A and B are shown apart, each in its own frame.
Chain A
Amino acid sequence: MEENIRPPLAVRARPWLIALPALLVLIGILYPFLTAIYYSLTAYAFNRPGSVDTFVGLRNYTRMFTHEDFLYSTYITFAYALLSTGIQLSIGLIVAMLLNRDSRLAKIFTPTLIFPMMIAPVIGTLIWKMMMQPSVGILNPMLNAVGLPSLQWAAVPETALFSVVLVDVWMFTPFAALILLAGLRSFPSAPFEAARVDGASFWFTFRNLTLPMLTPFIIIVVVFRLMDSLKMFDIIFAMTEGGPGNTLMTYQLTAYRTGIQFQRLAQGLPYAILLYIIIYITSMYLIKAWGRAQRRAAGY
């Protein structure tokens, strides 16, 4: 009798099926993450069998913080992220404002914004690398044509950061522009007409009305671009592999070089975990700010 009133298998399995995606996420994300934390506390190196069982506590972390290149690495990570995000935001805002009008030119240009994003970052970077080649690349002749001196681009420390940021800006400014354009297009027209009647200049309207209403969209751009550029790998690696010297050795590049190329996984992992913590804290803060900005833009 007992068996007869048991619900069918499909019903009994339902809670498990519903939880399955979460379970997969748990396995797919949390397991490697926790493993990484565990490995970072060992002496794990690929070329030393058995080293994974040697527990060394926080030694890898102390080594990272006291490393002579650590401060420079921090500087270059943040310089790259802040520069590229900042420039993308500024140019993206200008482009979005220019495209936010009902003209034929705007209709033609808006879809072309997608082009740089359709190219794989590595391929795009390799093409830039060829264009930047000091002796045969096309960029130097172009500079010379307008009376500027040739540059050594990514080949020398002075302009290496500039070169990779330039590629990042080229590649992702359209993303910023599209998000901001979507924001501008979503605005009701009446308040802006009211501002015209009220006699507000372009700058006054921009500061007092456009910018506060656009802030949620600006934060979205910053969240995406800052997270992405803090952990940027493709562009820097394809361009110089972190060089010349250690000029472009960000956390991400250092983690890769130490952990994979030099096979000392446990020593590379602290950089990745530190990066994770930085990105986590920054994005949490930004998402909170986004909620506030959205309420403000909506008029609460």
Chain B
Amino acid sequence: MAELRLEHIYKTYKGEVEAVKDLNLTVQDGEFLALLGPSGCGKTSTLRMIVGLEDITSGEMYIGNRLVNRLEPNQRNVALAFETYALYPPLSVFENIAFCLRARSIPKTEIGQRVRRVADMLDITDILDRKPAELGGGQKQRVSLARALVRDPDVFLMDEPLSHLDAAQRSHMRVELKRLHAQTGRTTILVTHDQLEAVAMAQRIAVMNFGVLQQVGSFDEIYNHPVNEFVAGFIGEPPMNFLPVTPVREAEKLHLAAVDGSFRILLTDALKTRVERSGAQKIDLGIRPIHMEVVEDEGDNTVDATVVTFESLGEEGQLAATVGTSTVLVVTSPWLRLDRGDAVRLRLRSERLHLFDAATQAAI
């Protein structure tokens, strides 16, 4: 068990592709961290550098205060559960799990004990004699986890471990993985593009995009206080709505007026000082679909909109509506009766507004 520390890590591939840029990240001993981002954001490159399958272009990486840049994968004592499982096809499940122990010349009796213990933990004792091709996706997944866990790694990495499972297995494995982490207390890194997985399992989430670490924090931090528009738009389902606005001062009050002139809302004092301090001239107003509601009466923080589509999804309704030239998505009650072209009034919850400088995309 150990702390993992990445300092100014860069990864540049042949042909000048910068996969990871100036990555600084510390994963505490025993922590469960999710590395979250869209495909091609550099999360898998980061993972492969931690494991040692990929050279680090520059920067320093420490596992338990030991510089590991130049160490081969086998000297780092990290374990990786591959996205494609990467089971050894000619070997039985038992041999697959025992592979790393045999490679280290651990006595046979001990190998048997350790394999059985981890097989027990993952509930795969009944398939130890089978070959990989005879297993289902969920079973392969467990074998690959067992193989990674059997050797007491300092850091345990999982690359999209649930992406090839069906929905039922997925929610089951989410619980399992969380239980495994609680049981073993290992430093664990989960690489995923699925925010639900990250939120469900990890204690902290690191969001990456275009090779750059955007924000690290608990779900609460990144959901409620996203540092920029990318994080705000990437976390949350359905995604956050953005409306382009400009600040307008009127008699000591600060309003935000839509660039297309369709609405104007009054800012609270707290937001007012933040906008004034930032000096931003163009602002993207972010509001999550669940923080808007359809209202009858006119009031503060309301905007007029026209219905594009309304779907009742059983437990909730989803309304797509145009506000001026922008389209917003609103989560509503499923019992509304709305048709295309209907005029509606939407209220934005003022304490839930997110403001971003349109020029830098950074939160204000």
Contacts and interface: CB of A to CB of B under 8 A. Distances in A.
B87 interface: yes
A199 interface: yes
Interface in B64-120: 72-75, 78-80, 82, 84-91, 95, 99-100, 102-104
Interface string A151-180: 000000000000000000000000000000
B51 interface: yes
A198 B147 contact: yes
A96 to B, nearest CB: 18
A223 B287 CA distance: 70
B337 to A, nearest CB: 53
A197 B75 CA distance: 9
Q: Which applies to chain A's interface (DSSP): helix, strand, loop or mixed?
A: helix
A201 B100 CA distance: 10
A190 B74 contact: no
Interface string B135-150: 0000000000001000
Contact of B51 (A188, A197, A212, A297): A197
A191 B100 contact: no
Interface in B119-141: 131-134
A63 interface: no
Interface residues of B, number: 31
B298 to A, nearest CB: 61
Contacts of A208: 88, 90-91, 95, 99, 102
Contacts, number: 83
Contact of A213 (B72, B73, B89): B89
Interface string A186-209: 001011011111111100100011
A196 B89 contact: no
A198 B133 contact: no
Interface string B243-280: 00000000000000000000000000000000000000
Contacts of B78: 197
A299 interface: yes
Given A191-B89, A208-B102, A209-B88, 13 more contacts: A194-B80, A194-B86, A195-B88, A195-B103, A197-B80, A198-B103, A204-B103, A208-B91, A208-B99, A213-B89, A299-B87, A299-B134, A300-B134
